[in-house]
Amino acid sequence: MNGVDKMRVGGIDGRVDWVDYAKGFCIVFVVMMHSTLGVEAAAGREGWMHAVVEFAQPFRMPDFFLISGLFLAQVIDRDWRTYLDRKVVYFFYFYLLWMTIQFVFKAPGIAAEHGAFEVARLYALSLIEPFGTLWFIYLLPLFFVFTKLTRRVPWPVIWVAAAALEIAPIETGWMAPDEIASRFVYFYTGYIAARYIFTLTADAQAQPAIAFGCLAIWAVFNGVMVNEGLAALPFYSLGMGLLGAAAVVTLSALLARHDVFKPLRYCGRNSIVIYLAFFLPMAASRAVLLKTGIITDVGTMSLIVTVCGVVGALAIFWAARAAGINFLFERPDMFKLVPDKAKPAPRPVLQPAE
């Protein structure tokens, strides 16, 4: 059932262009959500960008997790040491590093309001409870390990159990168990259905007119379900998540067919870079706009903050690379369980999943 047709894996540097487009969509929507909701909370009112965020809610994270599981079949049978190095230590290194960086910026405010002890308590708590925007890369290692441990279990058993957890829904008040219950089914779907997802993208590229027609129907359906408040309900949310992920995959395949929007593909190639660093330019641009009052429209402010979050994160990446501060976005050898076999040249992009 699982596996990827290697004949369809290509693109620049051995990458799959439509996968980068899909990641680009996801990371932009993630930054858009945090930017828009943050601006609206500070301004005390909603803007026109709120409708865009709501439209993307059913598929924004499901597609991200589905793509993260897409190539797992190619590496799941590696020895445990190599597997843990690539799929666990890798992500925890960046989680701990950037969680600490976020604390450096947030600690003064927390200490001023609640005291130094609260800063230490929250930092320690972040080792077991994902901190802020970093919960995605906290959960991925757990998904990778669980999937390898259960790879001999018939896939329908795991998938049905994962779907049941998503449908439940689970609300413990803790982010880790709640998000695991809500998201694992999409990650696992990417793993077990990889060849069918690649078939879908190939068919979309072969018959673009039909693919665009299907996307139009989906867009109307998704909008109606969101407006009616049905998209987030049990059972509906699972179906909407899977349909939305398929739609993003299809649209990404169509864009990759002629490579018509290269900046989005570039964002996808560097999606984890943006994910790690966007909080700083996002918060800074939001503070400037709200303080100066140059722009009063909340929707326009949200859009500007979104652009600043994406471009600002990439600017931090470029600056760090130029200054030789590689540890921010490239894991040093001392934090690797398995050294690289060969290093012909440093890779300019950070890979979120193989």
Q: Give every CB contact of residue 81 below 8 A, 6+ residues apart in sequence.
A: 337, 338
For residue 73, give the nearest of 196, 191, 152 by alpha carbon. 191
Residue 52 lies in domain: 6-335
User: Using an 8 Å Cβ cutoff, are 66 and 18 in contact?
Assistant: no
Query: How many domains is the chain built from?
Result: 1
- pTM of the predicted structure, to 2 decimals: 0.90
Q: Is residue 354 part of a domain?
A: no
Q: Is residue 345 part of a domain?
A: no
Q: Is residue 353 part of a domain?
A: no
**Count of residues in the chain:** 354
Residue 320, judged by CB atoms within 10 A of its CB (0-12, 13-18, 19+), counts as middle
User: Using an 8 Å Cβ cutoff, are 290 and 329 in contact?
Assistant: no
Q: Is residue 182 part of a domain?
A: yes
- So what's the pLDDT on residue 352? 45
- So what's the pLDDT on residue 260? 84
Tokens for 165?
A: 């957890």
Q: For residues 285 and 35, what is the distance between their CA atoms, to the nearest angstrom?
A: 10
Using alpha carbons, list the distances in angstroms from residue 83 to 154, 244, 273, 336.
21, 30, 22, 11
User: Using an 8 Å Cβ cutoff, are 239 and 190 in contact?
Assistant: no
Q: Is residue 35 part of a domain?
A: yes
Tokens for 64?
A: 């991200």
Q: Is residue 347 part of a domain?
A: no
Q: For residues 239 and 292, what is the distance between their CA atoms, to the nearest angstrom?
A: 44
Q: Is residue 341 part of a domain?
A: no
Residue 230, judged by CB atoms within 10 A of its CB (0-12, 13-18, 19+), counts as middle
- So what's the pLDDT on residue 341? 72
Q: Which residue ranges in the chain fall short of pLDDT 70?
A: 1-14, 342-354
Residue 44, phi then psi, degrees to nearest 5: 80, 15
Q: For residues 9 and 44, what is the distance between their CA atoms, to the nearest angstrom?
A: 47
- So what's the pLDDT on residue 271? 95
Q: Is residue 348 part of a domain?
A: no
